[in-house]
Structure 1
């Protein structure tokens, strides 16, 4: 059986990213609630991340490329972060409803994992899901 290749997120493994994100300075960069472009595997992603003492909000606005399970692996990284920092909730927002070039595989993947199409007051029609601890 072939071993899964580690997903690099801007050049770091998930474990390295989790270690790097321990410092308040790193968290200020990651969770600035501002749009950021980063690489994960072969994908380029436009996302926005926010958190407070108990909750985290992950907005994925655009995912270009991929195919190696980037979204699911990113979800695992954020869940590990939430567990490590004893967060109670993760709100996921994925802009995949009105894409100019939609990935036909993505909606079934999201729906199998409990995402539903909702009208977000800020983002319009999106796939959304709220996960509660324990992770």
Structure 2
């Protein structure tokens, strides 16, 4: 079993962070780079109205459960902040080196390709919390 660590903190610990940590470190509505397991991730997280928006621009490495770990953290944040939904945007359409396993995983888990105003085509999935 591979232990998932996010920026040096075990997933179990991250899922117990107080709301203030997420407000100051994650929900900054600016691109951030963070590590999940062996992957380096470029993403952006924001809260708009009653929705958490998770946008992933690049994932280098990984494969040991990076997306499920990010999903668990997103669901925890949404629950903590009493949000109604999570909008997930993954920019994996026009990659120089496309990850076919990632694309297959996204499609298998219900992501669809849509044109997002101001962002272009991306994989998208809305999750009701």
Q: So what's the TM-score if we normalise by structure 1? A: 0.87
Q: Cα RMSD over matched residues?
A: 1.5
**How far does residue 113 in structure 1 lie from its aligned partner after superposition?**
1.0
The match for 1:6 is: 3
**How far does residue 53 in structure 1 lie from its aligned partner after superposition?**
5.5
- C-alpha separation between the residues in 1 aligned to 2:23 and 2:12? 15
**How far does residue 21 in structure 1 lie from its aligned partner after superposition?**
4.1
The yes-or-no answer on 1:122 pairing with 2:123 is: no
Q: Which runs of 5+ in 1 are unaligned?
A: none
The match for 2:106 is: 110
The yes-or-no answer on 1:69 pairing with 2:65 is: yes
**How far does residue 52 in structure 1 lie from its aligned partner after superposition?**
4.1
Query: Which residue of the other structure, out of 17, 21, 33, is the alignment partner of 1:20?
Result: 17
Q: So what's the TM-score if we normalise by structure 2? A: 0.91
Q: Which runs of 5+ in 2 are unaligned?
A: none
